[in-house]
Every structure is written in structure tokens, then in C-alpha cells.
A and B are shown apart, each in its own frame.
Chain A
Amino acid sequence: MDKRVVFDENRCKGCELCVPVCPVDIIFIADRINKLGYHPATVTEQDKCISCMMCAKICPDLVIEVFKPEKKVAG
């Protein structure tokens, strides 16, 4: 399945603002360390994402891009 939410992890400063705003609670802080030296926020359960954009709207560092499935054309 295509990703609904993409984190550009090397921009992330691990501030955790996105973690509590996620209504389906799938964002967590990874154990790995990114280029900037922070533990980046990430998502693995893409199938649970509802493309609500909450995380992207609170993110101060333009880390997050959000995608939504195209509507299927009838017929």
C-alpha cells in the first residue's frame, strides 16, 4: 500500500509535537538518530493513517507530507 504520511526524517528535530495530536496514535519517536542528531518521529502503521493532516499542521519543521487515496471513478 502507498504511504499516506511521509516523514522527511532528516528534517525532524524530535520535538514530539506531532505525537499527541495524532487521533489514531500511530506516531512514535524512533530509536535511531538522524543526520541532525535527533531521534526522529516516524510512522510504521501506514494502513491506520486517516490522512487528517494534524501532524503536518503542528509540525514546525516541514517534516511531514500527507497523501489521500484518489476517489475511484464509478463505472
Chain B
Amino acid sequence: MKQIFAKPQSMTDKVSHYCPGCTHGIAHRLVGETIDELGIADRTIGVASVGCSVLAYEYFDVDFQQASHGRAPAVATGIKRVHPESIVFTYQGDGDLASIGTAEAIHAAMRGENITIIFINNAIYGMTGGQMAPTTLLGQQTTTTPEGRRFEEMGAPIRMAEMLATLDGAAYVARFSLHDIPNITKAKRAIKKSFQYQLEGKGFTIVELLSTCPTNWGMSPNESLEWVQTDMMKVYPLGEFKTPEEGEKK
């Protein structure tokens, strides 16, 4: 028998603290596979966010720094400028990147920093107990919007990928989903592309991944995957919004 699927070598053996069925684990694996395939484990430096993924450094067998809430792109900027030969990525959730860290993400993209951001969008604050995030869908119930998010009061979900694609400094901006195997395959391809563009020095790259939070959505893991497809994808269309070859796609 020949082994055709195994844990990525750039990941540790530690069992994650993520809830059962949380797609963070899938996103971690895709990043790990990418690091393995590109053979860059010895020069990759990750920057973890604040949120559920705060302990990401426990799961990757590469150098890691943990940044203050939302500041991962700023920390990554510093690391990349001091060590330009390194491959620097941040791993941030939506509460981190699309809320307190919006400015850092936008300005890192504006400056065209040669870093990669893996952005996990699950439309809720996970770690703190399911409060409304900027990415929460209209009508979605959270602990701070028990009757559902209302536009008149709380505004509408923020689409980070579309917004960042308008910036000249951004080289590659894409959004994919982790709700089934074909989409996981596409997400993997996008993550690998984003790292490759960084290796080529193309500039700022970000891959947004639609993810689940079964615990705070109050659904089973399989129901959560279904909800990504039926509800989230209507608000967050998938695809590449900007590539170095074609520029912004409108």
C-alpha cells in the first residue's frame, strides 16, 4: 500500500482546540500543504491573530509571531521588510481583520506589502461567544442581534475582498469557500497561488475563505456547511477579484 494522504509535514501533531466541525482545521491544512509543496517551511513566518486562531502557532511547525488584535498585517509588514527573503503570511478571522484590524489590512494592501493574508470569514465573533461581526449577514441571529442583524441599525455586511481589490497595491485578491470538496480544492489552489505570487514578489495577496462556526451559529457541522452554500454565498460571491495578470475583475 502506498500512502496518498497524510498530515502536512509543516504541521505539528497537536490536536487543535477548535470546536468539532470548525473549518479552521481545513484552512490550516491547506496552508500546511501549500508550505510543504513549495518547500518553504524553513523560511516561512506566520503571524497569528486574536480570535479563535490566536493559537495557530501551536499547529504549524514554522516560525510564528502572535500579533495584537487586528495588527497582524502591520507586524507582518515589519517582519517582511526586515527579512525580505522570508515568506510571511497572516492568518486572521473576520472579527480581527474586518473589524478592529480593517485599517491595517487596507493600508498593507495600499502599500503593496509583499505578504499573504489568509482571511477566515465565518460571519460571527467565535472566540468571544457569538457576537455580531461586521461580516454578519442581514437577518442573522447572534448574541448581540437576537432578532437578527438589521440594516437600519447595524448596517450591512462588509465585503473585504471586493474592497481590497480596488486598491492598486493589491496583487491578488480572491474569495473561496470550504463547504465542500470541489470548493476546498479551489481554495487550496488560491492559497498556493497567493504564496507563489509572494515568492515572485508581486505584492499584497489575500485569500478570503468562507468558513463555519457550528457552535455559535447553533447548527450541526453539516448543517453549517449547507448554510454557507445557501446563505453566505449569496452575500459573498466566490472567485478571483484581482490577479497580477489581469488586474481587477469587475
Contact = CB atoms under 8 A, between A and B. Distances in A.
A57 B21 CA distance: 13
Contact of A67 (B3, B11, B18, B29): B3
Contact of A65 (B3, B11, B24): B3
Interface in A1-50: 2-4, 10-11, 13-17, 19-21, 36, 38
B15 to A, nearest CB: 5
Interface residues of B, number: 29
Contacts of B185: 57
Interface stretch (B39-47, B139-147, B220-228): B220-228
Interface of A is mostly: loop
B184 interface: yes
A68 B4 contact: yes
Given A15-B21, A16-B222, A66 B15 contact: no
Interface residues of A, number: 32
A62 B7 contact: yes
Contacts of B222: 16-17, 19-20
B21 A13 contact: yes
Contacts of B25: 59-62
Nearest to B220: A16
B2 interface: yes
Nearest to A1: B1
A46 B86 CA distance: 43
A15 B221 contact: yes
Q: Give the top 5 A-B pairs by smallest Cβ distance, nearest first.
A: A60-B25, A15-B21, A13-B20, A66-B5, A15-B20
